[in-house]
């Protein structure tokens, strides 16, 4: 029953409903994927900087550990880039961290432009359907007049259905686009803070005790 109603609505909405349906499927897939991909524990695991300090203190900082750190998480990749240059100056470490961070940010923002595009174009597709439906209405009026309302129903239905469908897809797409953009900004800020703390600890500019206290307070 429900499937039949949906099919009838799509049929009544005309060909514009096809791209609208495709946009809705793409938007749902992107939203689900980004919810999974942008989990904080996956992007910025806790206690990575403390673990790095323990390795450094014990003299266990080797290529194998850094390689494992790089593959563990996006934050681990950023920190590993700095560790590969730990014997150089603070500025060199920061430059390598920033370069790795730019690549990580691109990955965090994956598909968000597509979601934003869907939020922008679906109201326009709905408007296009509205215009096409009204054209049909005026064509019927100019041909047979307004004596039979059923002759006008097809065009009016197409106009209203496509408008509603376009807004139904666009509104949640825009909401989640804004939400994920904010989430990415928060994750990037966390990674920057952790990377700076690592640089300061390894270069002796911040005592490890201060780092532990800051971590427990957070």
**pLDDT tens, residue by residue, 122-146:** 999 999 988 888 887 777 667 766 5
Residue 7 lies in a domain: no
Q: Classify 9 as helix, strand or coil.
A: helix
Residue whose structure tokens are 């922008």: 120
**pLDDT class of 46 with cuts at 50, 70, 90:** confident
Residue 216 lies in a domain: no
Residue 215 lies in a domain: no
Residue 141 lies in a domain: yes
pLDDT at 216: 46
Listed residue (174, 194, 216, 159) closest to 78, CA to CA: 194
Helix 2-13 to helix 149-202 angle, to the nearest 10 degrees?
100
Listed residue (30, 177, 28, 194) closest to 104, CA to CA: 194
pLDDT at 137: 73
Residue 213 lies in a domain: no
What predicted TM-score, i.e. pTM, was given to this entire model? 0.81
Token pair recorded at residue 141: 């009026």
Please say whether the beta carbons of 169 and 118 come within 8 A: yes
Structural domain total, the chain: 1
**pLDDT class of 206 with cuts at 50, 70, 90:** low
Q: Domain range holding 58?
A: 15-208
**pLDDT class of 149 with cuts at 50, 70, 90:** low
User: In Å, how far from its chain's centre is CA 176?
Assistant: 8
């Amino acid at each position: 029953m429900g499937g039949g109603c949906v099919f009838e609505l799509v049929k009544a909405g005309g060909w514009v409903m096809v791209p609208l349906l495709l946009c809705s499927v793409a938007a749902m897939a992107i939203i689900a994927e980004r919810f999974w991909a942008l989990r904080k524990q996956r992007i910025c695991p806790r206690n990575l900087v403390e673990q790095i300090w323990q390795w450094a203190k014990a003299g266990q900082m080797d290529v194998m550990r850094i390689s494992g750190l790089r593959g563990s998480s996006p934050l681990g990749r950023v920190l590993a880039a700095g560790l590969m240059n730990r014997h150089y100056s603070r500025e060199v470490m920061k430059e390598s961290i920033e370069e790795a961070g730019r690549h990580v940010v691109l990955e965090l923002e994956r598909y968000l432009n597509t979601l934003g595009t869907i939020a922008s174009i679906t109201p326009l597709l709905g408007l296009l359907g509205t215009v096409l439906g009204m054209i049909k209405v005026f064509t019927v009026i100019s041909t047979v007049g307004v004596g039979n309302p059923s002759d006008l129903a097809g065009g009016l239905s197409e106009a209203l259905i496509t408008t509603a469908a376009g807004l139904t897809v666009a509104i949640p797409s825009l909401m989640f686009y804004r939400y994920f953009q904010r989430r990415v900004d928060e994750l990037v800020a966390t990674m920057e803070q952790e990377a700076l703390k690592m640089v300061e600890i390894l270069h002796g500019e911040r005592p490890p005790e201060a780092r532990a206290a800051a971590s427990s307070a957070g």
